[in-house]
Amino acid sequence: MSIRIAGAGCCLMDVLYPHVDFSSSAFASLRSRRDGDGGLSPGRLAFAEDVERFLVARDAEDGREPRALGEALAELTAGLPPAAENVGGPSIVSLIHAAQMLAGEDVKVEFHGLRGDDALGVRLVALLGRTPVNLVAFRQTRGRTPSTLVLSDPSWDEGRGERCFINDLGAAEEFSAAELNGRFLSADIVALGGTALVPQLHDALPELLSGARRRGALTVVNTVFDYRNERRDPVAPWPLGPAGAATGSGPSSGSALSYRNSDLLIMDLDEALRLSGSGSVAAAADFFEQSGVGAFVITHGGERVVAWAGGGRFRPLSRRELPVSERAGRELAAQKASGARVGDTTGCGDAFAGGMLASLAAQLLASPPALDLEEAIGWAVAGGAAALFTLGGTYYEGRSGERRGIVESFHRDWLRQIRET
């Protein structure tokens, strides 16, 4: 038996600035004052065009000469060049991690998407060529390759670190569901990641997910901060699909279809609160339990993971909390004390999603009567922990199986951790 994972969604080049001070006056001049205004906020994403407009308005309010975005970024980064470029995006990074974890297994992992015809696109393809993901459906088009400036402050959040992002959609604006044929929808696992950064694809989620489910695929959605809908309405719940009026206190009809056809939904806490329109993790979990999803997972950085499965393709799991890696916390604290911080939090959530994909594929190979969500979370936590010690989201292996060995070590420690608590 062989398994095929087909993924689509956000794929871009991350341009990494790993030592930005979020408490500086330079950051304060770019910091958001209210949701959706185009400014920067730790842990969140903004579009470059909106940041530029925000900067013009903010400089005018402060009575200073108007600055271009590049000038403001030079102040923020102390004029230092980026430390690195790396493959980024919730879809491709999770797929790369899954493919690395599945080395030696009869599993094929493929990505469907668009890149630009610029120099950045050439460098992106070269980096992707160092990974085990099949890129036969990664098409070139005219225009800019999608990119994100990743600004990281390793001292933020009591030393656990945080990032904020400035995104240029580029060619991602052109990618639509028409690019995804029957081969994509008939994969064993259809994974849609970070589609809020691929607008036409995000709006087609209800049709894509229902089409994949009709063909028997296991459908997995991992979300990203939806700045487009946050800008459109910073109060209303985000749609998981096209924007539209909600029915009463529930989701819009398009979102309802997306939820019903999602076997697994993976979100961080901010995304879960905004998708559900809730004010607490408990209320958000209540919403998703009633939404029709087969299972969901809510992450929260260094805090515990909330998980639930209602049946269907998954073994039922009552709502529960599972810990993150204590070992990762200890090693981060030791690095902070020594001043030798290596890596950042970029891509940890994507590696978490990739760990889940890898575990689900491995379980499908074993043909269980139902999938074990808790087992998948263990591999996800280990993947996210390992990603903390890599600069950028993507790890480039020197040999096949290298990444799996690193993650397995974190996984063994996590299993020991939960047995002892």
| Structural domain ending residue among the three candidates 34, 52, 76 | 76
Give bridge partners of residue 28 from the DSSP assignment.
Answer: none
- The angle formed by the CA atoms of residues 242, 226 and 141, to the nearest 5 degrees, is 75
State pLDDT tens for residues 134-147: 998 999 999 999 99
Which domain covers residue 152, as residue numbers? 3-16+83-419
Res 144: pLDDT: 95
Query: Are 60 and 97 in a shared domain?
Result: no
State pLDDT tens for residues 239-264: 999 987 555 456 778 899 999 999 99
Query: Are 187 and 332 in a shared domain?
Result: yes
Which residue is it, tokens 């599945």?
A: 102
- Residue at 195: amino acid letter: T
Res 246: pLDDT: 55
Query: Are 29 and 108 in a shared domain?
Result: no
Neighbours of 145 (CB within 10 A): 25
Query: Are 262 and 395 in a shared domain?
Result: yes
* Cβ neighbourhood burial of 217 (10 Å; 0-12, 13-18, 19+): buried
- The angle formed by the CA atoms of residues 297, 48 and 251, to the nearest 5 degrees, is 35
Give the CA distances from residue 368 to residues 36, 103, 313, in Å, rounded to whole numbers and listed in that order: 45, 21, 10
Query: Are 24 and 46 in a shared domain?
Result: yes
Query: Are 63 and 183 in a shared domain?
Result: no
How, if at all, do strands 305-309 and 45-47 pair? unpaired
Average pLDDT for residues 371-391, to the nearest whole number? Answer: 95
Query: Are 244 and 114 in a shared domain?
Result: yes
Res 34: pLDDT: 83
pLDDT at 171 over 70: yes
State pLDDT tens for residues 9-57: 999 999 989 889 999 999 998 999 887 788 999 988 889 999 999 999 9
Query: Are 241 and 381 in a shared domain?
Result: yes
Per DSSP, 370 falls in state: S
Backbone φ, ψ for residue 304 (5° rounding): -70, 155
Query: Are 185 and 157 in a shared domain?
Result: yes
Give bridge partners of residue 147 from the DSSP assignment.
Answer: 13, 168
The sheet that has 12-17: what strands, in order across it? 45-47, 162-168, 147-153, 12-17, 84-88
Res 102: pLDDT: 98
Q: Would residue 112 be called left, alpha or beta, if left means φ above 0 and alpha means ψ between -120 and 50 degrees? A: beta
For the chain, what is the mean pLDDT?
Answer: 93
Query: Are 157 and 256 in a shared domain?
Result: yes
Residue (of 231, 261, 267) closest to 45 by Cα position: 231
Res 248: pLDDT: 46
Res 417: pLDDT: 97
* Percent of the chain residues past pLDDT 90, beyond the cut: 76
Domain of residue 391, CATH code:
3.40.1190.20
Residue 385 CA to its chain's centroid (Å): 15
> Measured between alpha carbons, how far is 20 from 26 in angstroms, rounded to an integer?
10
Query: Are 305 and 241 in a shared domain?
Result: yes
Query: Are 65 and 88 in a shared domain?
Result: no
State pLDDT tens for residues 226-241: 989 988 898 999 999 9
| Structural domain ending residue among the three candidates 76, 99, 114 | 76
| Structural domain ending residue among the three candidates 76, 93, 116 | 76
How many structural domains are present in the chain? 2
